[in-house]
A and B are shown apart, each in its own frame.
Chain A
Amino acid sequence: MSVSRRSFLQAGAGIAAILAAGRAPAAVIGKPRVVVIGGGFGGATAARYLSLWGAGKVDVTLVERNPEFISCPVSNLVLTGERSLDQLRFGYEGLTARGIRVLRGEVAAVDAAARTVKLSDGSTLPWDRLVIAPGVDFRAVPGVDSEQIPHAWKAGPQTLLLQRQLAAMADGGVFAICVPKAPYRCPPGPYERACLVADWFQRTKPKAKVLVLDANPEIVSKKALFARIFAERFPKHLEYIPNSELMEVKGRSALLEFDTVQADVLNVIPPQQASAIARLAGLVNVNDRWCDVDWRSMEATATPGIHVLGDACFPTHTMPKSAHMANQHGKLAAAAILATFDGRAPDPAPILMNTCYSYINAREAIHVSSVHAWDEAKRTLMPVAGAGGLSAAPSEEEGGYAAGWARNIWFDTLG
């Protein structure tokens, strides 16, 4: 019986290097292999930092189904023509230049026992550690076809479809945004969208109106700020209605539990769950929707050796499903995986930080921030008391920071 690759790795990569010069067979030596599924903010960051911190000692493969990265953050500005979608498109050249193998493909199967990923073209990728950053899938809403009634909650053609519908809407029309029950991707995003479109209506379609139909009992993120901004900035152009869960859509009518609302342009952001790849890999173990993870390593509690990042994770206390958080997950997982390859325990008490900027018009923005630290008693990450918070008020200064944040997180994620 030969020494297995896995026990060899468990013995430690440093030891491996020493033994490589000695007697172990050449086929067993070689770099530990990490396959990353999903090239969004979480997966791309994990791949990049495995390469950066692994300093060439780890073989990294990123599998992504789309030919390019399109940023969801800032995409609400595309709806009103303040930015073009092309400004939010990025390639993966920054990663390939680092030596990361970027494969465009679709995952067909994950075999945790054999430690392989099978792609739909029939090829097989072996791994010593697997990282899955699959994002979210939308749950069906009766009567909603996203080709007619866009979600525009994944930036790309959907963003452009909603942009066209808004541009074609007559002055005097109603634009309704249906917000799903939390947790969903980008908690402040629907309210940012409402502000930006209301601001645009004020200037271009002064008789038109934004209606926010929120399934939640109150504004989910930056509540105090958004409530004030809705009232003070858009008194005639924005109406917020809580406890308005969408049951079904007929034509352009949103059927709520006790009411029916007519809209000229309807934007349904459907309820969400970890995407199909997470289910395929057997990692969904919370409410039949999300993946539970060990927050010291991002390792799935369902399957050791597989790390889950980003929006697919069941959020721990007050942690949002944000691009910023997914980027932080990527670095946490990279550090934990590299420590394991070196035969060391991952950081026993990690810290993560979140920042989300929301534009309220093309110039001014607001933020929410939080810091999350490992709590040994609760065995999870908890928000640090006294840290984090909201902007005092919208400002152009923070509008500048919002643009700077985007440039820097794109760089930190993609190179």
Chain B
Amino acid sequence: MKPQNDFRRRCGLLLVAALMALPALAAQDTARNLAATCTGCHGTDGYARPGMPALAGRPAEGLLQLLAEFRSGARPSTIMQQIAKGYSEEQLRLIAGYFASRPAAPGAGS
């Protein structure tokens, strides 16, 4: 029927438009999803509850250096050396960037 065909055609055109915006969205998702693998221990979005280090709002460079030192074994740890070795340098960079982009305390930013 005509209305449906029209609908599908419009969807097709819009899908093309949506796909053009895809890479930026996908990169944001990747950083968010990777960071979420840390939050079982470090709290949602890095807002840790007592007993674990908070990550939200920490400068990306410092976080990345810490993670790189865990990954290389240069920095001693109980568990973080083992975990950091499971991620590539690029993945650690995305994770550090994601937590750095959070306001330092819940409600402190938007």
Contacts and interface: CB of A to CB of B under 8 A. Distances in A.
A404 B41 CA distance: 7
Given A15-B14, A404-B50, A397 B83 contact: no
B33 interface: yes
Contacts of B38: 353
Contacts of B34: 351
B11 interface: yes
Interface in A372-415: 373, 384, 386-389, 391-392, 395, 397-398, 400-401, 403-405, 407-412, 415
Task: Specify which of B48, B84, B91 lies most central, judged by the most chain A CB atoms within 10 Å of its CB.
Answer: B48
A364 to B, nearest CB: 12
Nearest to B80: A369
A412 B44 contact: yes
B18 A343 contact: yes
Contacts of A350: 33
Interface residues of A, number: 55
Contacts of B7: 3, 19, 24
A96 interface: no
A407 B49 contact: yes
Contact of B26 (A332, A344, A410): A344
Task: Specify which of A15, A352, A410, A415 lies most central, judged by the most chain B CB atoms within 10 Å of its CB.
Answer: A15
A324 interface: yes
Nearest to A355: B41
A391 to B, nearest CB: 6
A12 interface: yes
Contacts of A395: 78
A3 B43 CA distance: 42
Contacts of B4: 1, 3
Interface in B30-76: 30, 32-34, 36-44, 48-52
Given A371-B87, A408-B43, A347 B10 contact: no
Contact of A387 (B22, B29, B37, B86): B86
Contacts of B36: 49, 331, 335
B15 A403 contact: no
How many residues of B sit at the interface, in one of the four size bands? 35 or more
B33 to A, nearest CB: 5
Given A15-B18, A355-B40, A408-B42, A403 B51 contact: yes
A327 B40 contact: yes
Contacts of A343: 15, 18
Task: Specify which of B14, B25, B42, B82 lies most central, judged by the most chain A CB atoms within 10 Å of its CB.
Answer: B82
Contact of B50 (A24, A327, A407): A407
A14 B36 CA distance: 24
Interface string A339-356: 100111001001111010
Nearest to B44: A412
B22 A388 contact: no
Nearest to B14: A15
A357 to B, nearest CB: 9
B51 A405 contact: yes
A328 B18 contact: no
Given A404-B51, A408-B52, A324 B40 contact: yes
Contact of A11 (B11, B43, B82, B91): B11
Contacts of B39: 408, 412
B79 interface: yes
Interface string A1-28: 1010000000110110011000010000
B42 to A, nearest CB: 6
B79 A355 contact: yes
Interface in B79-102: 79, 82-87, 91
A1 B8 CA distance: 13
14 contacts: A11-B8, A18-B14, A49-B36, A351-B37, A352-B37, A367-B79, A395-B78, A401-B78, A404-B41, A404-B51, A405-B51, A409-B41, A410-B49, A412-B40
Given A401-B52, A404-B52, 5 more contacts: A344-B25, A352-B37, A386-B85, A388-B82, A409-B40
